[in-house]
Amino acid sequence: MRKLSLEHNHLIDLPTSLVRLQKLESLNLRANQLSVFPEVLQKLPNLRFLDLSQNPLVHSASLRHQIQALIPQCRITFQW
């Protein structure tokens, strides 16, 4: 699987089994209930696009930079 859309699912966390999707390139998590960055995403080496828009992420000025440091190959979309 290369693309996965989990938008509008009221997710508060992601299952650790997501790490099995090693070929995943695009993940849409838009409009869920994620308040912290799901650490399992660090273990997806091919992830290139991540949409975290419309999630109640605990906002800090450096959040985008922190996430990009964890998964540098990925383009990340945010909207608070």
d(CA 8, CA 73): 25
pLDDT at 34: 94
d(CA 26, CA 72): 14
pTM (two decimals): 0.84
26 or 71, which is more confident?
26
Does the structure show a pLDDT above 90 at 9? yes
Q: What is the DSSP string of 49-72?
A: EEE-TT------TTHHHHHHHHST
**Domains annotated on the chain, with CATH:** 3-13+24-77 (3.80.10.10)
pLDDT at 32: 97
**30-71: per-residue pLDDT in tens?**
999 999 888 899 899 999 999 999 999 876 666 777 777 878
pLDDT at 7: 98
